[in-house]
Amino acid sequence: MQRGEELYSGKAKSVFASEQDDALILHFRNDTSAFDGEKVAQLDRKGMVNNKFNAFIMQHLEANGVTTHFLKVLSETDSLVRKLDMIPVECVVRNIASGSICRRLGVDDGLVLNPSTFEFFLKNDALHDPMINESHIATFGWASQADIEQMKKTTLQVNQILSKLFADAGMTLVDFKLEFGRQGDTLYLGDEFSPDGCRIWDAESREKLDKDRFRKGLGGVVEAYEEVAKRLGLQI
C-alpha cells in the first residue's frame, strides 16, 4: 500500500492518507526529540525499531482485550492504523517516580508508587503539556464523561498487562503515556507504544532502557530499544 498525502508531521512520526478512507499510514521516522523539541537528533534504525516494537505491543494488547487502532505492518517503518478523531488528552500511569513528578512533588527518583498514580495531561506542546483534571476535560469539551471513564479504565488495564509482560522479561515498566481517539461509536487506543513514550528499567540494575538515554546524554539509545525488544522475544 502506497502512502498518500502527508496529513500530519509530529516530532518522530508522520501520518499519511492511505487507499482506505477509514485508515491512515503511520510512518515512524529516525527523528528523536526531547524537552518539547529543544533537543533533536537523527538516530539510525530508530524508526524501524519503533514501528516493529509498537506493532508487537499493540498486537499483545489486542490479544488481551484492549481495542487499538493498529491494523497491520506495511513496511520496515510504516503501519496501517484506523483513522481516529483524536482526543487531545494524554493518560499517564506511573509505577515508580521519575521525571516530572519528582520535580513537581519533590519525591525521590526511583520511589515505588503504591498504588500507581494516574494523571491527565493536555496534549499541547506550546503549553508544555500541562497537567489537567476531569473537570477541565469536561468543561472544555475535550472528551465526554463516558470517554474519560473509559480512557482511565483502559489505561489501568494496559498497565496491568504490560507490567507483567516486562516483568516476565526482567524489566520494570516505570511509567508510560497513552492517547485515545474515536472512530464512530468506538473508542480506540491510538498513537503508539514504544520506548519513546515510556520508561523501562532493567529490573535488577535499574539501567535505563528508554528515551531517558537520549534526554540524559547516556548514548546507546537505539541499542537499548533493541535490547528491550530482544528480551520480549521480538526479532528486529
Span 47-75, pLDDT tens digits: 999 999 999 999 999 999 999 999 999 99
- The answer to whether residue 208 is domain-embedded is yes
- The answer to whether residue 180 is domain-embedded is yes
Cα separation, 147 vs 201, whole angstroms:
31
- The answer to whether residue 225 is domain-embedded is no
Instruction: Please compute the mean of the pLDDT values over residues 120-136 and round it to a whole number.
Output: 96
- The answer to whether residue 128 is domain-embedded is yes
Span 78-89, pLDDT tens digits: 999 999 999 999
- The answer to whether residue 228 is domain-embedded is no
Residues 144, 192, single domain; the answer is: yes
If 0-12 CB within 10 Å is exposed, 13-18 middle and 19+ buried, where does residue 50 land? buried
Residues 74, 143, single domain; the answer is: no
- The answer to whether residue 231 is domain-embedded is no
Nearest to 95 by CA among 129, 66, 118, 61: 118
How many domains would you assign to the chain? 2
Residues 156, 92, single domain; the answer is: yes
Residues 50, 151, single domain; the answer is: no
Residues 32, 109, single domain; the answer is: no
Domain boundary among 58, 82, 106: 82
Residues 60, 111, single domain; the answer is: no
Span 146-186, pLDDT tens digits: 999 999 999 999 999 999 999 999 999 999 999 999 999 99
What is the extent of the structural domain holding 142?
85-220
Cα separation, 37 vs 184, whole angstroms:
33
Residues 76, 136, single domain; the answer is: no
3-state helix, strand, coil split of the chain in percent (to 5) is 30, 35, 35
Residues 60, 25, single domain; the answer is: yes
Q: How far is C-alpha 183 from the geometric centre of its chain's CA atoms?
A: 19
Instruction: Please compute the mean of the pLDDT values over residues 7-21 and round it to a whole number.
Output: 96
- The answer to whether residue 226 is domain-embedded is no
Residue 222 has pLDDT above 80, yes or no: yes
Instruction: Please compute the mean of the pLDDT values over residues 14-30 and round it to a whole number.
Output: 98
Long-range contacts of 16-24 (CB under 8 A, 24+ apart): 18/80, 20/80, 21/83, 22/82, 22/83, 22/183, 23/71, 23/80, 23/81, 23/82, 23/83, 24/80, 24/81, 24/82, 24/83
- How many other C-beta atoms are found inside a 10 Å radius of the C-beta of residue 25? 24
Confidence of residue 38 (pLDDT cuts 50, 70, 90): confident
**34, amino acid identity:** A
